[in-house]
Amino acid sequence: MSFVDTLRQWDEAVTCVDREDISGAFRIFLSIQDPNSKICFDIGCLHLLSQDLDAAEKAFDCSIRRDEHLAVAFFQRGITFYRKQRYEESLGDFLQAFRALRGNQLIDYKALGLRYKLYACDVLNNVALAEAQLGNWEKAQENLVKALDFKTEAKLNNIDRALQSTLKQKVFKLVEFPLKCLFKPNKHYVAELEKKDYLGKAKVVASVVPQDDFSGFAPLQLQVEDRPTCPKEPEFLRALEGEPHTVLFEFVPETSDELAVVPGNIVFVLQKGADNWASVVFNERRGLVPYNYLERLEISLASKQNEGIRRPPNREPPTRPERKPGLTPSENSSGDLKPKDDQSTDNSYIVKVCFTFNFSISVPHGSTSAILIERISKKLNLPSTAVTLSLTPEADEQSVIDANTDMESVWSHANGRRITLWCNTKEQTDVKPQNDIHLVALHSYESSNPEDLTFHEGDTITVLSRVNQDWLEGQCNGNTGIFPASFVGEVPVNGQ
């Protein structure tokens, strides 16, 4: 079968799925000779939709054989094994999907024709669930704590709920793939299948705007928009500046201010020291990496849009340069790293504290709960008796950290000497807010960034804070994020 015929049938099959004609899609898909990995993936998704797990497994096997780097295929086959209660094989596929992410927060498959983002935290959620089904509750907790390092704000609640379930040794929810979301053929190739009439047919058009006396070949422009334009994003949410570099060799950190990277990662160099160490940003984290492990990356969309990631050279990594005082990673706006006046020694723990704002502190190895609470209360300028710490957002009996807590079990949740805790004050826990501000969505807003809040027209939004005159922070449908103020309007509290 020629490429053109395959392309035409592929396009017809996904069109049938859009029309809810699943049987027609099956008939066309199965008639394609020598299908590629994406088509095999689509067939597997339709078999899952039809609850034919054996056929789905074979289809995903075929997809993986044709492309062993397709992480989403391992993810889908892991879900298939999980439904068949083959938890060990499910665990193996989820781990393979996580390795295929290569340390990145997500893979966006939009450029390959699939409108789906595979998040590392979702994969780790399923890894933890498979471990839980096998009775390995400690490993399940470890993977969920690891997922917190890859989370986005939209995924935070799911991970927190799963972590709380593991503390009670209860099975939590599997993150599944939307089955009707399929790989589609390149729309530019599909457009070439149709015969073109470059001259077209003559048309007489008239503007609905009396003052519009334009004449020419440009089409009529939209005169009135049905929704406001999205304001400029707040400054602190813009991408961090820095020069892009490719990582050539795997680097394993030896101190808490160094950053782990593997070949193929893209990092942004903020500052290079005289001792051949560089302060870089990777996955919204800052840290130090030897500069001789990196290679400057020239980004040009025009010349390199089809160029893949360069393979690292087949040679040993250079020797680790000596550290000289002076170059340290600085604090970023998200609070993931420690401030300059709060840097830790090599045997210290970095504690990220989630409060009404996020901040980090450094505490000595094996610190007691009293020392930990004292450091946080000093940071907040509050008495230690007013501070409540917990391992999860919901401060219950099992997660609260106090004088009776076994701190060894608390520090066991640390990942690379880093741990995330949640902090409340008595004013927050004992007094219920009486004057919440509620808004109603006048227009639907689809988030373009992990920090944004997605909602639909008519949804009710609780305002948490004002970012600036154009953007607000709020909660809707269990999610928290920022959104344009022009997309919402006021509504009386008693009218909800």
3-state DSSP of 247-304: ECCCECCCCCCECCECCCCEEEEEEECCCCEEEEEECCEEEEEEHHHEEECCCCHHHH
Q: Residue 166 — pLDDT band, cuts 50, 70, 90?
A: confident
Specify the pLDDT at position 367: 84
Q: Residue 205 — pLDDT band, cuts 50, 70, 90?
A: low
pLDDT digits (tens, 9 = 90+) for 63-101: 999 888 899 999 999 999 999 999 999 999 999 999 988
Q: Identify whether residues 8 and 84 lie together within a single domain.
A: yes
Of 29-43, 68-82, 232-246, 290-304, give the lowest mean pLDDT range: 232-246
Q: Identify whether residues 478 and 415 lie together within a single domain.
A: no
Res 195 pLDDT > 70:
no
Residue-by-residue DSSP string for 417-447: SEEEEEEEEHHHHHS--S--EEEEESS-B--
| Exposure letters 394-405 (e unless 16+ CB within 10 A, then b) | ebeeebbbeeeb
Specify the pLDDT at position 55: 93
Q: Identify whether residues 469 and 416 lie together within a single domain.
A: no
Specify the pLDDT at position 63: 92
Torsion of CA 247, 252, 255, 258, to 10 degrees: 10
Torsion of CA 391, 392, 393, 397, to 10 degrees: -80
Res 287 pLDDT > 90:
no
Of 163-177, 306-320, 326-340, 426-440, give the lowest mean pLDDT range: 326-340
Q: Identify whether residues 384 and 448 lie together within a single domain.
A: no
pLDDT digits (tens, 9 = 90+) for 384-395: 888 888 888 877
List CB contacts of 158: < 8 A, sequence separation 6 or more. 121, 122, 125, 173, 175
| Average of per-residue pLDDT values in the chain | 77
Residue 283 resides in a domain: yes
Of 7-21, 23-37, 328-342, 429-443, give the lowest mean pLDDT range: 328-342
Residue 145 resides in a domain: yes
- Where do the H-state alpha helices sit in 134-186? 137-148, 156-167
> What number is the average pLDDT over the span 461-473?
79
How far is C-alpha 495 from the chain's CA centre? 35
Alpha-carbon distance 278 to 287, whole Å? 8
Q: Which of 55, 62, 58 is nearest to 37 (CA)?
A: 62
Listed residues 407, 430, 453: the one ending a domain: 430
Q: Identify whether residues 424 and 444 lie together within a single domain.
A: no
Tokens read off for 39: 């088509």
In the chain, what is the straight-line distance between the N-terminal and C-terminal CA atoms, in Å? 59
Look at the alpha carbons of 473, 476, 478, 481 in this order and tell me if their dihedral is positive or negative. negative
Listed residues 115, 136, 167: the one ending a domain: 167
Q: What are the two backbone dihedrals, phi and then psi, of residue 45, each rounded to the nearest 5 degrees?
A: -65, -40
Q: Identify whether residues 119 and 51 lie together within a single domain.
A: yes
Q: Identify whether residues 26 and 154 lie together within a single domain.
A: yes
Q: Identify whether residues 104 and 123 lie together within a single domain.
A: yes
Residue 208 resides in a domain: no
Residue 224 resides in a domain: no
Which of 343-352, 389-398, 418-427, 433-442 has maximum average pLDDT?
389-398
Residue 260, domain extent: 238-300
CATH of residue 426's domain is 3.10.20.90
Residue 202 resides in a domain: no
> What number is the average pLDDT over the span 453-479?
83
The total number of structural domains in the chain stands at 4
pLDDT digits (tens, 9 = 90+) for 474-484: 888 878 778 88
Q: Which of 134, 154, 157, 258 is nearest to 144 (CA)?
A: 157
Specify the pLDDT at position 430: 40
How far is C-alpha 129 from the chain's CA centre? 19
Look at the alpha carbons of 46, 51, 52, 58 in this order and tell me if their dihedral is positive or negative. positive
Specify the pLDDT at position 377: 83
Instruction: Decide which of 476 and 255 is more confident.
Output: 476
Specify the pLDDT at position 160: 81
Of 16-25, 33-42, 243-252, 350-359, give the lowest mean pLDDT range: 350-359
Listed residues 400, 430, 460: the one ending a domain: 430
Residue 321 resides in a domain: no
Specify the pLDDT at position 57: 93
Specify the pLDDT at position 240: 44
Residue 449 resides in a domain: yes
Q: Cβ distance 81 to 89 under 8 Å?
A: yes
Name the burial class of residue 22, with classes exposed (0-12), middle (13-18) and buried (19+) by CB atoms within 10 angstroms of its CB.
Answer: middle
State the SS3 of 51-89: CCHHHHHHHHHHHHHHCCCCHHHHHHHHHHHHHCCCHHH
Specify the pLDDT at position 304: 41
Instruction: Decide which of 136 and 211 is more confident.
Output: 136
